[in-house]
C-alpha cells in the first residue's frame, strides 16, 4: 500500500493514518461537547490542541524523513511524545500545584534543552543522544528544586522524576542508532 502512485503522488498509508488519527483526536472534544456538559472547550483550547497535535505529527514526519534507522525513529517518536505530554499535562493540571503556578515554567527549560541540543546536533544520532540525556538531567534538576523548596506534594515529585525516564530511554535509542549507523 505504501508508495502506490495515485495521480502522480505517492500514497503512504501510515502517513494518512497518522494525520487521520490527529484529526480524530482534535475532533473528539467537539463531538463530546454535543453530548455532555462535562467537556467545555473554547476556540483557544482547540487552537492549542491543534498546535500540539500538529507539532507532534510534524516531529514524527521529520524523524521518518530524517532517518530510516528504526532506533532513531523510535527515539525521536518517544522524545516528541514526551515533549507533547509534558506540555499537555502542564497546561491541563500542572505538575507543581495548579496549572498557573509559576514553578511549572521550569518545565519549559527541559523542552528548551532538548530542542536546543537537537538543533545544535543537527539531529544526528550521537548529538540527539546527548540532547535527550541533557533533557533528562534538566527534568531531574527540577525534581531536586521541587524537593528542596518543598514546592510540591510527593506525587508531583514522583511524576517529575518519572518524566526523566522517557528522555533517558530516547537517549538510549539514539545511542543505539548511532552505533548501528557507524
Mean pLDDT for 51-55 is: 94
Q: Report the 10 Å Cβ neighbour count for 95.
A: 24
pLDDT for res 10 = 61
pLDDT tens-place string over residues 55-101: 999 999 999 899 999 999 999 999 999 999 999 998 888 888 887 88
Q: Copy the grid coordinates of residue 2.
A: 505504501
pLDDT tens-place string over residues 144-165: 988 888 777 888 888 889 999 9
H or E stretch covering 117: helix 106-120
Q: Copy the grid coordinates of residue 154.
A: 510527593
Instruction: Tell me the C-alpha distance between 131 and 114, whole Å.
Output: 5
Mean pLDDT for 92-120 is: 91
Binned at pLDDT 50, 70 and 90, residue 9 comes out as low
Whole-model pTM: value is 0.85
Can you list the pairs that 30-35 forms with residues at least 24 positions away whose Cβ atoms lie under 8 Å? none
pLDDT for res 96 = 86
Q: Report the 10 Å Cβ neighbour count for 103.
A: 18
67 or 11, greater pLDDT: 67
Per-residue pLDDT at 1 exceeds 50: no
In this structure, is the dihedral angle defined by the CA atoms of residues 104, 105, 110 and 111, taken in order, positive or negative? positive
pLDDT tens-place string over residues 27-40: 999 999 999 999 88
Amino acid at each position: 500500500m505504501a508508495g502506490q502512485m495515485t495521480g502522480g503522488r505517492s500514497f503512504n498509508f501510515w502517513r494518512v493514518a497518522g494525520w487521520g488519527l490527529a484529526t480524530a483526536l482534535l475532533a473528539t472534544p467537539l463531538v463530546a461537547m454535543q453530548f455532555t456538559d462535562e467537556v467545555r472547550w473554547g476556540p483557544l483550547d482547540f487552537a492549542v490542541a491543534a498546535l500540539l497535535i500538529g507539532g507532534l505529527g510534524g516531529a514524527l514526519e521529520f524523524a521518518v524523513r530524517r532517518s530510516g534507522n528504526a532506533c532513531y525513529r523510535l527515539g525521536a517518536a518517544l522524545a516528541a511524545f514526551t515533549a507533547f505530554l509534558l506540555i499537555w499535562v502542564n497546561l491541563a493540571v500542572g505538575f507543581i500545584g495548579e496549572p498557573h503556578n509559576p514553578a511549572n515554567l521550569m518545565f519549559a527549560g527541559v523542552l528548551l534543552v532538548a530542542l536546543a541540543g537537537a538543533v545544535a546536533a543537527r539531529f544526528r544520532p550521537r548529538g540527539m543522544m546527548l540532547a535527550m540525556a541533557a533533557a533528562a538531567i534538566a527534568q531531574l534538576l527540577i525534581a531536586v528544586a521541587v524537593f528542596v523548596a518543598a514546592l510540591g506534594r510527593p506525587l508531583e515529585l514522583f511524576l517529575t522524576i518519572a518524566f526523566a525516564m522517557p528522555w533517558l530511554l530516547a537517549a538510549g535509542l539514539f545511542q543505539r542508532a548511532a552505533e548501528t549507523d557507524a
